[in-house]
């Protein structure tokens, strides 16, 4: 998987060497020689990944990183900091500035391309989710609560047949606040994959096929979201690259630098949770686009889409589809006498009774106001009428309790049934016939069901 990479380094020879390496692997490369130029390039060219040198005259890499991560136009771009500094405090400073990853100079080719491969796959998912979220008018910037979840302690499982080494890794993660268990210890209580944030999987020196285990874990439905960091020694680099291909999120060479491990765990968990937040926001946005927020029933948009599909199916297989249009009798009086808050409570309770008195395949909708409609797939008019009567009884037989005012409100409903038998007819015609039947029910005294002949 390739990407557009911005290389930022004040030394021309370093830029040329990195450009040659990347282009040999078919990456598209852009170059910057100062922090100011890097910020401008990132804003206007929108690279997929930034490789940022730390030690630069004037504006150093830390400040460049801070400014890029504080700008809404560039904060989503992953930044890998390149540093000759080996002090753990310097690496921590980079992470605090917002860096997504770091590499030590001289940059090892395997480590470089492992990071780029992992970030390219991460970008592919994140970009798709951001695009879908941006198309949804109901979403806004991440909330303070959402942002706080990115850095919360993680649940980590360490898989290594060398249990002494596994416990050493787990202890290092405990020291920075994570919950970490070894595979051997976790098996005693049963491994709950769904609750895991990350797995550290040893590749080298194992009696089992660690890559096969990686693939099997990725195939588990409940385990597809957690991150996987593969550890390996130098001779297993090719197998580690295969691990990235089949689902690992990152690779670290052994012997492990525990500070580096702690930093990479934090990075992977942050990415995993960022994707989770985006997915949840997209799902919420999709739900908001088809769900009526007061009642939880489907809205008019969804109603029209589903009804059109069922009518088309009916035209093909000849099975009827019926609709029942409901209207709460004298609902204006409820609002006038008891207030709009009581009116909303009545609409919510009405919706609940409607929902509990239809079949699983029926589709309950609220087109608007006090109007409701139930789509009954593969249902002739006579059966739809019986279903509508069941709903009418459920509404009329029990008063609606307005708890805050300790009031009981008697509510009735009128309804009209219309059926499509596969004939050449428009959706608007079917809804019009249902409305005509509903008006007839109103004219004939309300609290009743009427059905028009097809």
SS3 418: strand
Query: Which range among 91-100, 278-287, 414-423 shows the weakest confidence by mean pLDDT?
Result: 278-287
Q: Give mean pLDDT, residues 105-119.
A: 84
The single residue listed with the structure tokens 């370093």 is 14
- Please state, in angstroms and rounded to a whole number, the distance separating the CA atoms of residues 12 and 222: 48
Judge whether 245 and 92 are in contact, CB under 8 Å: no
- Please state, in angstroms and rounded to a whole number, the distance separating the CA atoms of residues 323 and 314: 13
DSSP 412: -
Query: Which range among 1-10, 30-39, 85-94 shows the weakest confidence by mean pLDDT?
Result: 85-94
Q: Six-digit token pair at 223?
A: 């385990």
**pLDDT above 70: residue 90:** no
SS3 92: helix
Provide the β-strand partners of residue 50.
6, 79
Contacts 24+ apart (CB under 8 A), 96-101: 97/62, 97/63, 97/65, 97/66, 97/69, 98/65, 98/66, 98/68, 98/69, 98/70, 99/52, 99/65, 100/267, 100/271, 101/264, 101/267
What per-residue confidence (pLDDT) applies to 428? 92
Q: How confident is the model at residue 138 (pLDDT cuts 50, 70, 90)?
A: very low
Name the residue with higher pLDDT: 384 or 258: 384
Percent of residues, the chain, with pLDDT higher than 70: 89
Q: How confident is the model at residue 135 (pLDDT cuts 50, 70, 90)?
A: very low
Q: Among 28, 27, 32, 1, which residue's Cα sits nearest to residue 14?
A: 32
Radius of gyration, CA atoms only, the chain: 30
Mean pLDDT rounded to a whole number for the chain: 86
DSSP 189: T
Q: Among 387, 366, 415, which residue's Cα sits nearest to residue 321?
A: 387
- Please state, in angstroms and rounded to a whole number, the distance separating the CA atoms of residues 161 and 228: 17
- Please state, in angstroms and rounded to a whole number, the distance separating the CA atoms of residues 195 and 190: 12
Question: What digits encode the pLDDT tens for the residues 203-237?
Answer: 998 988 988 988 888 777 766 678 899 998 888 88
Question: What digits encode the pLDDT tens for the residues 172-198?
Answer: 999 999 999 998 888 877 777 778 899
Q: Among 229, 216, 275, which residue's Cα sits nearest to residue 115?
A: 229
Q: Six-digit token pair at 28?
A: 């598209």
- Please state, in angstroms and rounded to a whole number, the distance separating the CA atoms of residues 236 and 350: 64
Backbone phi, psi, residue 436, to 5°: -60, -40
Percent of residues, the chain, with pLDDT higher than 90: 46
- Please state, in angstroms and rounded to a whole number, the distance separating the CA atoms of residues 403 and 57: 69
What per-residue confidence (pLDDT) applies to 16? 94
The single residue listed with the structure tokens 């309790």 is 401
Half-sphere exposure of 453 (CA within 13 A, CB side): 0
**pLDDT above 70: residue 72:** yes
Alpha helices for 291-327 (secondary structure H): 300-317
Judge whether 318 and 311 are in contact, CB under 8 Å: no
SS3 419: strand
What per-residue confidence (pLDDT) applies to 99? 84
Q: How confident is the model at residue 388 (pLDDT cuts 50, 70, 90)?
A: very high
What per-residue confidence (pLDDT) applies to 338? 85
How many angstroms separate the Cα of 165 from the Cα of each of 160, 181, 191, 204?
7, 12, 20, 12
What per-residue confidence (pLDDT) applies to 202? 93
What per-residue confidence (pLDDT) applies to 404? 64
What per-residue confidence (pLDDT) applies to 273? 85
What per-residue confidence (pLDDT) applies to 401? 83
**pLDDT above 70: residue 418:** yes
Residue 117 annotated as catalytic: no
What per-residue confidence (pLDDT) applies to 351? 95
What per-residue confidence (pLDDT) applies to 85? 61
The single residue listed with the structure tokens 């504080």 is 70
- Please state, in angstroms and rounded to a whole number, the distance separating the CA atoms of residues 384 and 323: 8
Question: What digits encode the pLDDT tens for the residues 419-453?
Answer: 998 877 789 999 999 999 999 999 999 999 999 76
Residue ranges with strand state E in 17-130:
28-32, 49-53, 79-83, 101-104
Please tell me which residue in 133, 349, 370, 450 is annotated as part of the active site. 370
Residue ranges with strand state E in 89-240:
101-104, 155-159, 179-182, 198-202, 227-232
Structural domains in the chain plus CATH codes: 1-107 (3.40.50.2300), 133-288 (3.40.50.2300), 300-451 (3.30.70.270)
- Please state, in angstroms and rounded to a whole number, the distance separating the CA atoms of residues 252 and 250: 7
């Amino acid at each position: 998987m390739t990407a557009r990479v911005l290389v930022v380094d004040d030394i021309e020879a370093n830029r040329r060497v990195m450009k040659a390496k990347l282009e040999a692997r078919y990456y598209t490369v852009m170059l910057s020689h100062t922090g100011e130029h890097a910020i401008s390039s990132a804003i206007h060219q929108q690279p997929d990944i930034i490789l940022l040198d730390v030690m630069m005259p004037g504006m150093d890499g830390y400040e460049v990183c801070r400014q890029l991560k504080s700008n809404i136009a560039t904060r989503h771009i992953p930044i890998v900091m390149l540093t000759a500094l080996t002090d753990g405090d310097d690496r921590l400073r980079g992470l605090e500035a917002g860096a997504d990853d770091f590499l030590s100079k001289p940059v090892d080719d395997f480590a470089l391309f492992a990071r780029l491969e992992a970030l390219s796959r991460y970008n592919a998912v994140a970009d798709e989710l951001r695009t879908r979220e941006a198309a949804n008018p109901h979403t806004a910037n991440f909330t303070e609560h959402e942002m706080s979840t990115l850095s919360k302690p993680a649940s980590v499982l360490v898989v290594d047949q060398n249990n002494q080494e596994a416990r050493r890794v787990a202890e290092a993660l405990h020291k920075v606040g994570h919950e970490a268990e070894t595979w051997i210890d976790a098996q005693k209580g049963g491994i709950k994959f769904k609750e895991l944030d990350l797995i550290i999987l040893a590749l080298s020196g194992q009696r089992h096929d660690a890559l096969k285990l990686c693939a099997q874990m990725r195939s588990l439905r409940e385990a597809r979201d957690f991150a996987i960091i593969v550890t390996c020694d130098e001779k297993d680099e090719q197998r580690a690259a295969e691990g990235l291909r089949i689902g690992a999120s990152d690779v670290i060479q052994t012997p492990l630098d525990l500070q580096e491990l702690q930093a990479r765990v934090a990075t992977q968990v942050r990415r995993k949770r960022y994707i989770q937040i985006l997915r949840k926001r997209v799902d919420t946005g999709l739900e908001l686009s088809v769900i009526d927020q007061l009642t939880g029933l489907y809205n008019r948009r969804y109603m029209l889409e589903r009804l059109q599909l069922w009518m088309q199916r009916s035209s093909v297989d000849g099975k009827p589809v019926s609709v029942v249009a409901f209207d709460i009798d004298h609902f204006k009086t409820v609002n006038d006498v008891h207030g709009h808050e009581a009116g909303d409570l009545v609409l919510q309770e009405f919706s609940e009774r409607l929902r509990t008195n239809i079949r699983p395949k029926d589709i309950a909708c609220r087109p608007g106001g006090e109007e409701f409609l139930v789509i009954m797939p593969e249902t002739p008019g006579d059966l739809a009428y019986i279903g509508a009567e069941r709903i009418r009884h459920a509404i009329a037989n029990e008063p609606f309790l307005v708890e805050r005012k300790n009031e009981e409100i008697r509510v009735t409903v009128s309804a009209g049934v219309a059926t499509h038998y596969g004939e050449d007819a428009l959706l608007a015609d079917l809804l019009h016939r249902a409305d005509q039947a509903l008006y007839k029910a109103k004219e004939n005294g309300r609290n009743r069901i009427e059905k028009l002949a097809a």
